[in-house]
Chain A
Amino acid sequence: MSEETTVLAEEKDQSAEPQKWQPSILAILCNWCSYAGADLAGSARMQYPETVRIVRVPCSGRTDPMFVLKGFQRGFDGVMVLGCHPGDCHYAKGNYYARRRIALTQDLLKSLGIAPERFHFEWVSASEGNRFAALINEFTHKLEELGPFDGVA
């Protein structure tokens, strides 16, 4: 994590120059679906912003809300969690547990006053490489409109 933030900090330094600012995204991906989807997007050479940082988890159910909170604390402009479509979980029901937890994480962020648009949750299967690339592009555009995240403190 610290290494990544250093890289991101450097990127932010460059944004002082006339270069275009690109939002940093923390993407937490399930090993069995969206991570494979990201892989497919890569091997098919689909274009999406390189400012996305991917963390692979064994299942979206492994996504502790703290991962999301930590992402915002460390200054990511947006956090994204992608998991298998309901009913398609490799571990049968991990994504169902994730669904409640993630929904409540969204509500917590709302209560804390962080724009709900900065947190994105979506179901992406292993075959949806193009959808993965499209989602990252969409999310980046949305974050560009919102502007840089001014941090939690």
Chain B
Amino acid sequence: MAEIQDKIREEAKKALESGEVGVVIGWGAGSVPFKTTPVFIDKPQDADKLVWNPACTNNLAVYLTRWARDGKVGIVAKPCDIRSIVTLIREKQVKRENVFIIGLGCGGVVDTGLMEAGDVRMREITSLQWDGDDLMVTTEAGAVKVPAAQALREQCKVCHDRSPAISDVSVGDAVAPSEDLKIEIPGLSEDRQKYWQEQFAKCIRCYACRQVCPACYCETCFCDRIEPKWTAKKATTDEAWMFHATRAMHLVGRCIGCGECERVCPVGIPAVELARELNAVAKERYDFEPGDPEAEKPLLGAYKENDVDPAHHSE
């Protein structure tokens, strides 16, 4: 892991020194050892601020629409982040020639919240490191091994693509998904309508899910519009329903399931659930996967004459 981190720094330094990119977006050390923060490196000597560890959760592709508009930027990206970049390129939000991708193989990132539920106390952590299928957690009291199943984020447990789909330089080996880790995400409760009412009732409309989402790239979000007023600003359940339902619809064929919206949600709404279900339908019915570099057109920007006809199966 330390070797990979050195290579990331080296590649970032090279790209900045040659003037190929104006800035490299990556992860830097957070204020505490179990967190990282996005950093924007614009001087070669600052490249040593870049880090790579199991706490590099942020999907940095969210910054590309703004940063890569007028010039070339470098980005350190996990396979899932790269799927987001693929989507942005396909939907013409970012030009391929404007991104320099430092692609990583990834065995998954950790959910520090899950670890806290176990024996590890987050405040005592001094470093995190993968050791085979276990997470080595070094604390002031000594090292503890946490099994991956307990430490990984939910979406990392079911991740199938652990090597970069596209990249300019590839750092580190692709990590094969471990079969044992493919745990099914718990199904939604039987009474869906009630389930979502309970979830959306919690929503405070902070829009953190939207802000952190690389697929939510609209300059003016429908919910910020005054005319037509699609949803009111008030945080009532029906307005939250309108917001989340529409957002799910907007994410079909775009959401790559990085789960950032769930991570940042202050009230714990499983926002990625709806998009995940719809994408499963898109895969089955239209053979479309959001992060697939082979797909030329967006899901809803294309059609086939023999597409499934909803007029018949609504009967």
- Spell out A's residues near B (CB within 8 Å): 65-66, 69-70, 73, 86, 93, 96-97, 99-108, 110-114, 116-117, 119-123, 151-153
| Nearest chain A residue, comparing its CB with the CB of B309 | A99
Interface string of B216-251 (1 = CB under 8 A from A): 000000100000001000001111111001101100
Is there an interface contact between A113 and B282, defined as CB atoms closer than 8 Å? no
Distance between B55 CB and nearest chain A CB, rounded to angstroms: 32
Option from A69, A106, A114 in Cβ contact (under 8 Å) with B314: A106
Compute how far the CA of A108 lies from the CA of B246 in the bound complex, rounded to whole angstroms: 9
Option from B192, B194, B307 in Cβ contact (under 8 Å) with A100: B307
Compute how far the CA of A86 lies from the CA of B311 in the bound complex, rounded to whole angstroms: 11
Main secondary structure of the interface of A (DSSP, over half): helix
Q: Is B178's CB within 8 Å of the partner chain A?
A: no
In the complex with contacts A96-B307, A112-B196, A153-B249 CB distance below 8 A: no
Is there an interface contact between A69 and B310, defined as CB atoms closer than 8 Å? no
Distance between A150 CB and nearest chain B CB, rounded to angstroms: 8
Distance between A146 CB and nearest chain B CB, rounded to angstroms: 13
Compute how far the CA of A70 lies from the CA of B232 in the bound complex, rounded to whole angstroms: 12
Compute how far the CA of A98 lies from the CA of B242 in the bound complex, rounded to whole angstroms: 20
In the complex with contacts A100-B300, A153-B238, A112-B308 CB distance below 8 A: no
Q: Is B122's CB within 8 Å of the partner chain A?
A: no
- Spell out B's residues near A (CB within 8 Å): 188, 191-197, 200-201, 222, 230, 236-242, 245-246, 248-249, 252, 273-274, 277-278, 281-282, 285-286, 299-301, 303, 305, 307-311, 314
Which residues of B have CB within 8 Å of A105? 249
Is there an interface contact between B246 and A86, defined as CB atoms closer than 8 Å? no
Option from B197, B237, B299, B307 in Cβ contact (under 8 Å) with A99: B307
- Sample of 5 more A-B contacts, CB < 8 Å, known A66-B246, A117-B314: A69-B242, A70-B242, A93-B303, A97-B301, A100-B286
Compute how far the CA of A129 lies from the CA of B209 in the bound complex, rounded to whole angstroms: 46
Which residues of B have CB within 8 Å of A96? 303, 305, 307
| Nearest chain A residue, comparing its CB with the CB of B194 | A113
Is there an interface contact between A65 and B197, defined as CB atoms closer than 8 Å? no
Which among A100, A117, A120 has the highest number of chain B CB atoms within 10 Å? A100
Compute how far the CA of A152 lies from the CA of B197 in the bound complex, rounded to whole angstroms: 7
Is there an interface contact between B249 and A69, defined as CB atoms closer than 8 Å? yes
Is there an interface contact between B278 and A108, defined as CB atoms closer than 8 Å? yes
Compute how far the CA of A107 lies from the CA of B305 in the bound complex, rounded to whole angstroms: 20
Interface contacts (Cβ under 8 Å), in number, total: 106
Distance between B136 CB and nearest chain A CB, rounded to angstroms: 39
Which residues of B have CB within 8 Å of A102? 310
Compute how far the CA of A70 lies from the CA of B225 in the bound complex, rounded to whole angstroms: 15
Compute how far the CA of A73 lies from the CA of B196 in the bound complex, rounded to whole angstroms: 13
| Nearest chain B residue, comparing its CB with the CB of A138 | B315
| Nearest chain A residue, comparing its CB with the CB of B280 | A107
Distance between A1 CB and nearest chain B CB, rounded to angstroms: 9
| Nearest chain B residue, comparing its CB with the CB of A93 | B303
Distance between A90 CB and nearest chain B CB, rounded to angstroms: 16
Which residues of A have CB within 8 Å of B299? 100
| Nearest chain A residue, comparing its CB with the CB of B299 | A100
| Nearest chain B residue, comparing its CB with the CB of A124 | B311
Option from A73, A99, A100, A104 in Cβ contact (under 8 Å) with B241: A73
Compute how far the CA of A35 lies from the CA of B305 in the bound complex, rounded to whole angstroms: 24
Option from B238, B249, B273, B310 in Cβ contact (under 8 Å) with A152: B238
Which residues of B have CB within 8 Å of A99? 303, 307-310
Option from A97, A111, A120 in Cβ contact (under 8 Å) with B277: A111
Option from B195, B242, B248, B314 in Cβ contact (under 8 Å) with A108: B248
In the complex with contacts A96-B303, A107-B281, A120-B314 CB distance below 8 A: yes
Is there an interface contact between B200 and A111, defined as CB atoms closer than 8 Å? no
Compute how far the CA of A122 lies from the CA of B299 in the bound complex, rounded to whole angstroms: 22
Is there an interface contact between B305 and A111, defined as CB atoms closer than 8 Å? no
Compute how far the CA of A65 lies from the CA of B248 in the bound complex, rounded to whole angstroms: 11
In the complex with contacts A66-B222, A66-B249, A105-B249, A153-B236 CB distance below 8 A: yes
Compute how far the CA of A73 lies from the CA of B234 in the bound complex, rounded to whole angstroms: 14
Which residues of B have CB within 8 Å of A70? 230, 242
| Nearest chain A residue, comparing its CB with the CB of B253 | A104
| Nearest chain B residue, comparing its CB with the CB of A105 | B249
Which residues of B have CB within 8 Å of A117? 314
In the complex with contacts A70-B230, A112-B196, A113-B194, A100-B303 CB distance below 8 A: yes
| Nearest chain A residue, comparing its CB with the CB of B195 | A113
